Structure 1
Amino acid sequence: MLCAGPVLAQDGAGVKSAIQDGRISVTGRARAEAAPDFATVEIGVDAKGATPAAALDSASAAAKAIIALAAEFKVPDADIGTTAVTLQPVTRTIRQPDGTQTEKPDGYRAANMVRVRLADMARLGELMRKALDAGANRIESVGFGLRDPDAAESAVRVAAMKDARAQAGHLAEAAGVTLGRVITIQSPPQGGAQPYLAAAAPMRAKRSGAPVPLVAGTIESAAEVAATFAIAP
């Protein structure tokens, strides 16, 4: 859905400020909302082991299960990727009788995170639940986006330009002049379509139960165009 945002002068002073030296300068604005066409989720596992190899092997086994599960959901290989693999020693605090504390080695902790991009967004909650059943215990984030954000950005820039032309036409009519050709157009970067993040913070996931409820929302794009038009003779 495209929404243009005209900003029209309300009095003579406003018209004069926009019409100078035989030119009309305006700023057109537009916003657009589109339904996302894919979802991303980062799923992984934290595993602890007595040795580095034991911890890493445990995390790797769960990551392999997540990757295999994504394949069962018909996710292409290009839409599955590892985002992080970590391994670090773990210590525990020992309090001594004299009140001092010491750190004692307590095994190793490994993590393996996998990002999955899913086109069938209706099955995202099911994918997450089955991943937990397969051994995952971490869900870092869920997001929704557009595979072709450039198309959305182009459409909203066109709408912003139409808004600029409409404003210029209204100002020309109010001033009793005829709108001429476009002299300059400036469209500063707007940051592109903004993805919707359903969960941005790390969280521990619970196993077993119903699919996770999720709402995709919409992706918003915005554009601003500064245009200067000549006044026709």
Structure 2
Amino acid sequence: MRTATLLALGALAATAATPVAAETAPSVPAETLLSLTATGESTRVPDVAIISAGVVTQATEARAALTANNSQMTRVVAALKKAGIAERDIQTSNINLNPQYTYEERKAPQLIGYQANNTVTVKLRKLASAGDVIDALVTQGANQVNGPTFGLDKPEEATNEARLDAVKKARSRADLYAGAAGLRVKRIVSISEGGGYQPPYPMPKLQMARAETADAAAPPVEAGEVGTNVTVTVVFELQ
């Protein structure tokens, strides 16, 4: 009887131990993966520039402010077309008319007039003429000029060049890590992309008063270079 009891207890202990052994068994990955992020770059001489030209007028009556603004902006647009800017490269980007108030302590705001604003965005395809175009705008009544921002009209080639540079950098770095670990790169598991065309500088702002620039020469404009950046994340399998 005692022998049967001992056998039963031994069988029960063996059954209880089996799930514990299964739970603690480690899972071994089938391969070694390495994830790297690299940024590729490409530079080009820009072939387009974006500027905005605005007319701001003030008058005691709303209609007078708007009428004066319309007259000046008509001359500005005519100057752009005379300079060879195509209609498709001239786009109205903002029109507004706002009341103007004066404020004094302990008094209600007093209406003193109205301010009208009309702005056009212009794409310049002949960068050598940028200074002359800006001078013509101011001469014809533009009293706000923002820009230029330089860029590429068709950035696809530069972007592809940056993509290739990014992948080459990632692969070179993967070879470095693999060699340090005593392994080699077997294959690329995945590639994902981020980033894209990036102008090198923010748009500078030039605010001009017509009376101060009437006798000024065309401003010098230097295009420099624009950069394209593409960032990729590449997962490599090592062995």
Shorter chain as denominator, the TM-score bin is 0.7 to 0.9
Q: Which residue of 2 aligns with 1:204?
A: 208
Superposed CA RMSD in Å reads: 2.6
TM-score if structure 2 supplies the norm length?
Answer: 0.74
- TM alignment of 1:115-194, pairs within 5 A: 115-175=121-181, 177-187=183-193, 189-190=194-195, 192-194=197-199
SS in structure 2 of the partner of residue 88 of structure 1:
strand
User: How much has 1:85 moved relative to structure 2?
Assistant: 0.9
Write the distance in 1 (CA, Å) between the matches of 2:102 and 2:189.
70
Q: Which residue of 2 aligns with 1:43?
A: 53
Write the distance in 2 (CA, Å) between the matches of 1:59 and 1:37.
32
Q: Which structure has the greater CA radius of gyration? A: 2
Asked if residue 91 in structure 1 is aligned to residue 96 in structure 2, the reply is no
Q: Which residue of 2 aligns with 1:30?
A: 40
Structure with greater strand share of residues = 1
Question: 1:29–1:159: structure 2 CA closer, same or farther, 3 Å change rule?
Answer: same
Residue 55 of structure 2 contacts residue 72 of structure 2 at CA under 8 Å; is this kept in 1? yes
Match of 1:229 among 214, 222, 236: 236
Q: Counterpart amino acid of 1:223?
A: V
Write the distance in 1 (CA, Å) between the matches of 2:95 and 2:33.
59
TM-score if structure 1 supplies the norm length?
Answer: 0.76
Residues 166-175 or 127-136, more deviating: 166-175
Write the distance in 1 (CA, Å) between the matches of 2:106 and 2:230.
61
Q: Counterpart amino acid of 1:194?
A: P
Structure with greater helix share of residues = 2
Residues 109-118 or 215-224, more deviating: 215-224
Q: Which residue of 1 aligns with 2:89?
A: 79
User: How much has 1:198 moved relative to structure 2?
Assistant: 4.3
Structure 2: state its 5+ residue gaps: 1-29
Question: 1:228–1:88: structure 2 CA closer, same or farther, 3 Å change rule?
Answer: closer
Write the distance in 2 (CA, Å) between the matches of 1:90 and 1:231.
69
User: How much has 1:195 moved relative to structure 2?
Assistant: 5.2
Q: Counterpart amino acid of 1:228?
A: V
Write the distance in 1 (CA, Å) between the matches of 2:231 and 2:110.
59
Question: 1:129–1:166: structure 2 CA closer, same or farther, 3 Å change rule?
Answer: same
